[in-house]
Chains A and B, each alone.
Chain A
Amino acid sequence: MVKKIDAAGLHYTPLNRQVREAVAAGEDEIVIEHVLGQRFIADGLVGEVTLVVNGVPGGDIGMFMRGPTVVVHGNADHAPGNTMEAGRLVIHGSAGDAVAHSMRGGMVFVRDDIGYRGGIHMKAYNARHPYLVVGGEARAFLGEYMAGGTILLLRRGSKEPFAERGLASGIHGGEIFVRGEVDDGCLAVGAVKKSFGDEERAGIRPLIEEYCRHFGCDAAPLLADDYTRIGPASARPFAGKYTWE
């Protein structure tokens, strides 16, 4: 059954309360109409439910979320998927800065572009592995301090090498795949290029296919293209920085 919530003129707290009540009542799909800048949608939400957000949500959508699928028909503001534990966030548009900040599980798909610091400090643990898939461009400091997980940057429509600075600075876990070439000058301290072979190609295949399923595009050319794989030079980037008193 589909539960509809009209968010017109509604503050985020009563909106989230309605969402929580609907989830508690056993609804498996909730459609929120007329969303306009409400922050924290699905903040800390737990459960197996699908939220369809029609409009433009404010910051931190899906923060601390564990389980739900949130589909945004519109752009998202900053930090969607912030410290998210599990679930899916699918954004039909672009998103702001710090997308998937400190995310530790689940998947975030952004159809178009993201801002600065995407995937910053993402981390994996045991079965928890966060994925960030971006269809368009990302700005500087992508994957900074990354401690685990996977970032896939498809750069659809771009032919020039990726040239945003501070890429993966301080990375000590996880992997970043960028379609096409990456300018060496972008790689920040601790980040190195690694080989991209059949195994890696097979690894990102499901991500590309799911991206194309969500946004209705042809997977074949994206699957055929080459990617630059970036990872940490060490899991202990600061091991050699200190001496004892």
Chain B
Amino acid sequence: MVLGSVPVKYRVTIDRDRCMECGRCIENCPYGTFRWEGDKITAVSRNCTACHRCIAMCPRDAIGLEERPVDYRSHPVWTVEAREAIFNQARTGRVILAGMGNAQPLPSIFDRLLLDACQVTNPSIDPLREPMELRTYIGKKPKRLEFSRTGAGDVELETKLTPNLMLETPIMIGHMSYGAISLNAQLALARAVHKTGTFMGTGEGGMHPNLYPYQDRLIVQVASGRFGVGIDYLERGAAIEIKIGQGAKPGIGGHLPGEKVCADVSCTRMIPLGSDAISPAPHHDIYSIEDLAQLVRSLKEATEWKKPVFVKIAAVHNAAAIAAGIARSGADAVVVDGFRGGTGAAPKVFRDHVGIPIEAAVSAVDAKLRDQGVRNEISVIASGGIRNSADVTKAIALGADAIYIGTAALVAMGCRVCGNCYRGLCPWGIATQRPDLVARLDPEKEAVHVANLIEAWTLEVSELMGAAGINAIESLRGNRDRLRGYMLDEGMLEVLDVLPAGA
């Protein structure tokens, strides 16, 4: 096959009547889509990734973008994607690397779940007038409380409580490492969680000193590569998360390519400059649930039992049984990351075909933990493809205590979900370490955008709760009576423990 034998994915056009040849599109496109030809700007459509940076920056709205301008012969089995993947692999003989979340057109379960609202028989609650309790505590809850009475008649709590994280909203930001995203992007997220009273994950990339002022809102991560992990790092975090798996690529590790390991990334990860940062598939000190318990306890022991320890798994077929094991490992929260979870880079075959939907996984995990009488022992955090406040509300009604967002927070900072994160050239300054690109992201401004998003969703969750006559998030958690399934099959309704619409 010769170059050009595969049609362009996008066609970029310049409206000559509108273009004033200012050259901003050339400056802004790191992929080289625009260039001067004489005194005219021309577009090389083949380089375009549909990141929209040029469109956002063009002062005259002169740039047009069309997806798939060249038709293939249509075929229901041999889709364009199937054919182009074969062209690619026939040429290279390699594993196809892709970015962002699952790109298969599979139906969303969230979209087939409908929320409830009060009419007549029980009044809805007006969140503007009545207090709505969205504060969420993540960590172990005691089965029962013991009290004693002092001589003076005061009541004292005898039960020893374990440390919990206090969230002002059930929306947290998941783990995106320094390396996968830029320092400016991490700073914006850190300021946003500080402002909104919630938490974010550092990912497996250590903690840059510029994030230290926000450390009481950061959940540090211990993954199989142990990058950046040391006693100081563990002490700084508000909580510690052991990453076993990730929804975008369950069962495999991660390779941060050497090109992305710049001086600062090398420093926080504690690895040599330009070396691949390889996280193996398993933790090599965890080959069983007993070994996991040992790692949980080693982290608690190292930090003198002052910090909650989370365990994150990808939503896989037997996630419920795995979560039940995690509940007995001493962990304080289990994070279940669904198959739509995003990533900077994952083999396409994993991103698109491995794992199960978060809706089914979180419901199964919640049910299993309740069946076994250990739901109070562990909090459940759902993540992977949460797109709006309705998804948040539905995930909680299916049994989650809180949720993590990832892609949504990046979109709030400008990300257009072009899916080229693994190339390290993110024109929005998010998934890149190139200084000129990173400088495009203003942490102050983007912190406001991310905080706005969290605040808006929180407001919507409280409105949805009020409409359903619920005034505390605790009453929504696992409350499947507030959900009805629409166009879901009987088997799925059973897994979700949800009645069909009309029932």
Query: Given A85-B231, A241-B94, do A121 and B280 touch, yes or no (CB 8 Å)?
Result: yes
Q: What CA separation (Å) do A60 and B285 show in the bound complex?
A: 9
Query: Given A120-B284, A236-B258, A243-B96, do A44 and B231 touch, yes or no (CB 8 Å)?
Result: yes
Q: Give the segment of B11-19, B298-306, B317-325 that binds chain A.
A: B298-306
A147 touches B278 (CB 8 A): yes
A245 touches B96 (CB 8 A): yes
Interface centre among B255, B302, B347, B348 (most CB of A within 10 A): B302
Q: What CA separation (Å) do A13 and B306 show in the bound complex?
A: 13
**Which B88-143 residues have a C-beta within 8 angstroms of A?**
88-89, 91-92, 94-99
Q: What CA separation (Å) do A40 and B97 show in the bound complex?
A: 39
Q: Give the segment of B59-67, B265-273, B366-374, B464-472 that binds chain A.
A: B265-273
Q: Cβ of A150 < 8 Å from any Cβ of B?
A: no
Nearest neighbor of B302 in chain A, beta-carbon distance: A44
Q: Cβ of A93 < 8 Å from any Cβ of B?
A: no
Q: Cβ of A179 < 8 Å from any Cβ of B?
A: no
B284 touches A144 (CB 8 A): yes
Q: What CA separation (Å) do A175 and B362 show in the bound complex?
A: 45
B258 touches A245 (CB 8 A): no
Q: Give the segment of A1-9, A122-130, A180-188, A194-202 that binds chain B.
A: A122-130
B274 touches A235 (CB 8 A): yes
A40 touches B92 (CB 8 A): no
Q: What CA separation (Å) do A121 and B251 show in the bound complex?
A: 18
- Selected A-B contacts with CB under 8 Å, 17 pairs: A16-B301, A40-B301, A59-B294, A60-B298, A64-B234, A64-B302, A83-B230, A85-B230, A85-B231, A101-B284, A104-B226, A104-B230, A121-B224, A125-B270, A148-B271, A172-B278, A243-B92
Q: A235: which B residues are within 8 A, CB to CB? A: 258, 272, 274-276
Q: What CA separation (Å) do A46 and B229 show in the bound complex?
A: 15
Q: A101: which B residues are within 8 A, CB to CB? A: 284-285
Q: A123: which B residues are within 8 A, CB to CB? A: 270-271
Total number of B residues with any Cβ neighbor in A under 8 Å: 46
Q: Cβ of B419 < 8 Å from any Cβ of A?
A: yes
A43 touches B255 (CB 8 A): no
10 shortest A-B CB distances, which residue pairs?
Answer: A44-B302, A102-B226, A243-B94, A243-B92, A125-B270, A245-B98, A242-B97, A40-B301, A44-B231, A43-B301
Nearest neighbor of A66 in chain B, beta-carbon distance: B231
Q: What CA separation (Å) do A46 and B304 show in the bound complex?
A: 13
Q: Cβ of B423 < 8 Å from any Cβ of A?
A: yes
Q: A102: which B residues are within 8 A, CB to CB? A: 225-226, 229, 284
Question: B residues engaging A (CB < 8 A)?
Answer: 88-89, 91-92, 94-99, 224-226, 229-231, 234, 255, 257-258, 266-267, 270-272, 274-276, 278, 280, 284-285, 294, 297-298, 301-305, 347-348, 419-420, 422-423
Query: Given A104-B270, A123-B271, A238-B276, do A40 and B284 touch, yes or no (CB 8 Å)?
Result: no
Interface centre among A20, A237, A242 (most CB of B within 10 A): A242
Query: Given A145-B280, A244-B97, do A13 and B301 touch, yes or no (CB 8 Å)?
Result: yes
Q: What CA separation (Å) do A129 and B203 show in the bound complex?
A: 24
Q: How far in angstroms is the closest Cβ of chain A from B347? A: 8
Q: What CA separation (Å) do A239 and B257 show in the bound complex?
A: 7
A82 touches B285 (CB 8 A): yes
Q: What CA separation (Å) do A82 and B234 show in the bound complex?
A: 14
Per-residue CB proximity of A84-123 to B under 8 Å, as 1/0? 0100000000000010011010000000000001001101
- Residue in contact with B298 in the complex, picked from A43, A147, A241, A242, CB distance below 8 Å: A43
Q: Cβ of A79 < 8 Å from any Cβ of B?
A: yes
Q: B423: which A residues are within 8 A, CB to CB? A: 244
Per-residue CB proximity of A1-25 to B under 8 Å, as 1/0? 0000000000011001100100000
Q: What CA separation (Å) do A106 and B89 show in the bound complex?
A: 45
Nearest neighbor of A234 in chain B, beta-carbon distance: B276
**Which A53-74 residues have a C-beta within 8 angstroms of B?**
59-60, 63-66
Q: A64: which B residues are within 8 A, CB to CB? A: 229-231, 234, 298, 302
A243 touches B230 (CB 8 A): no
Q: A124: which B residues are within 8 A, CB to CB? A: 272
Q: B91: which A residues are within 8 A, CB to CB? A: 243
Interface centre among A40, A66, A121, A145 (most CB of B within 10 A): A121
Q: Cβ of A155 < 8 Å from any Cβ of B?
A: no
Q: Cβ of A78 < 8 Å from any Cβ of B?
A: yes
Q: How far in angstroms is the closest Cβ of chain A from B369? A: 26
B303 touches A44 (CB 8 A): yes
Interface centre among B89, B267, B284, B423 (most CB of A within 10 A): B284
Q: B347: which A residues are within 8 A, CB to CB? A: 242
Query: Given A64-B231, A85-B231, A121-B284, do A243 and B97 touch, yes or no (CB 8 Å)?
Result: yes
Q: How far in angstroms is the closest Cβ of chain A from B275? A: 5
A170 touches B278 (CB 8 A): yes
A60 touches B92 (CB 8 A): no
A147 touches B226 (CB 8 A): no
- Residue in contact with A245 in the complex, picked from B97, B234, B257, CB distance below 8 Å: B97
Q: How far in angstroms is the closest Cβ of chain B from A119? A: 10
**Which A204-245 residues have a C-beta within 8 angstroms of B?**
235-245
A245 touches B276 (CB 8 A): no
Q: A63: which B residues are within 8 A, CB to CB? A: 298, 302
Q: A66: which B residues are within 8 A, CB to CB? A: 230-231
Q: B234: which A residues are within 8 A, CB to CB? A: 44, 64
Q: A148: which B residues are within 8 A, CB to CB? A: 271-272
Query: Given A125-B270, A235-B272, A244-B422, do A60 and B88 touch, yes or no (CB 8 Å)?
Result: no
A13 touches B305 (CB 8 A): yes
Q: A82: which B residues are within 8 A, CB to CB? A: 285, 298
Q: Cβ of A173 < 8 Å from any Cβ of B?
A: yes
Q: A85: which B residues are within 8 A, CB to CB? A: 230-231
B97 touches A125 (CB 8 A): no
Q: What CA separation (Å) do A79 and B234 show in the bound complex?
A: 19
Nearest neighbor of A170 in chain B, beta-carbon distance: B278
Q: A65: which B residues are within 8 A, CB to CB? A: 231
Nearest neighbor of A102 in chain B, beta-carbon distance: B226
Q: What CA separation (Å) do A239 and B94 show in the bound complex?
A: 11
- Residue in contact with B275 in the complex, picked from A98, A147, A245, CB distance below 8 Å: A147
Besides the contacts A44-B231, A125-B271, what 4 more A-B pairs have beta carbons closer than 8 Å?
Answer: A46-B231, A65-B231, A66-B230, A125-B270
Q: What CA separation (Å) do A39 and B294 show in the bound complex?
A: 9
Nearest neighbor of B227 in chain A, beta-carbon distance: A123
